[in-house]
Amino acid sequence: MEKEVGEELDYLRRIRLWFMNAVEHINEGDKPLEKGLVQFLLNPFRQVIVEFPIYMDNGLLKVFTGYMVQHSNVYEPTKGGIRYAPDLSLDLVTALAFDMTLKCSVANLPYGGSKGGVVCNPREMSRAELDRLTRRYAYEILPLIGPDSNVPAPDLGTGPREMGIIYDTYAMFNPGAPYVSAVVTGKPLSLGGSEGRMEATARGGAYVLEEAVRKRQINGLNSLEGATVIVQGFGKVGFNIADILYKEYGCKIIGIADSKGGIYSPKGLVPNDVLDFKNSEKIRVTQ
């Protein structure tokens, strides 16, 4: 089994290689894993592909491809995000579902891993088009989701609005069912969402960075106070981790970049100011 995984390998193959490296390590001990169990965990127990049409704002019908993969149902419900991206594929969704199973296991959480999504570019779609797409995708995956079976969440290209539409669609077809609001996480607060959910991923990243620095694994630092930071990505996670590191840890944010460009200042940047500038009319016109 390969011990080094190069970047030339696709994500699904990398995840499987890392998993098998861990299996080999476990098998060196007194309680090796059964081959059947390893084979069972290498592959998802359910993969679903859906094709569905929606009308675009120009009146034309367009067909979209969606996926839902549940990797392991040893623990239920399965848990994982819904991703909207133009490069989405069945292999990528499968790898992300596998990754979710491993993450839940490492954190000792009683969930299996799942992942879903639609092949689309949300940046090129209107709000109304995204709403129609989300509701139709939710309808297509209705048999696969539920509070006790499979609970989606936001991911790349989705957020509270999409999760609210999924919840609303599920509730429409399951009137009177108990715990309906538990069918999806990351909903707006008005629909039963959790406070702090928007910042949760970024805050987790900040905790990991803090712990790494505390153990002096990053450039000999033993504290984040005054550390200089460059943030790659400035969406839901990137902005929040920059803001948290700046406000709560006393870091100096000297660089911020996303898919459209970057900004750098050795004197330091204020994340909220950069976000206002990014969202300004001037930026939208010049892109």
Q: Is 260 a catalytic residue?
A: no
SS3 119: strand
Rounded Cα distance between 112 and 1, Å, is: 26
Q: What are phi and psi of 51, to 5 degrees?
A: -120, 125
CA–CA distances in Å: residue 218 to residues 32, 214, 221, 247: 35, 9, 6, 21
H or E element, residue 153? strand 150-154
**Whole-number Å distance between alpha carbons of 287 and 281:** 10
Q: Where are the alpha helices (DSSP H) in 107-235?
A: 127-140, 160-173, 197-214
Q: Catalytic one among 115, 187, 236, 278?
A: 115
Sign of CA dihedral 179, 191, 161, 100: negative
Neighbours of 171 (CB within 10 A): 15
Widest distance between CA atoms in the chain: 64
DSSP string, 55-95: E-TTS-EEEEEEEEEE---SSSSEEEEEEEETT--HHHHHH
Distance CA(100)–CA(83), nearest Å, equals: 14
- 184 burial (CB, 10 Å; 0-12 / 13-18 / 19+) is buried
Give the burial class of 119: count Cβ atoms within 10 A of its Cβ; 0-12 exposed, 13-18 middle, 19 or more buried. Answer: middle
Catalytic (active-site) positions: 115
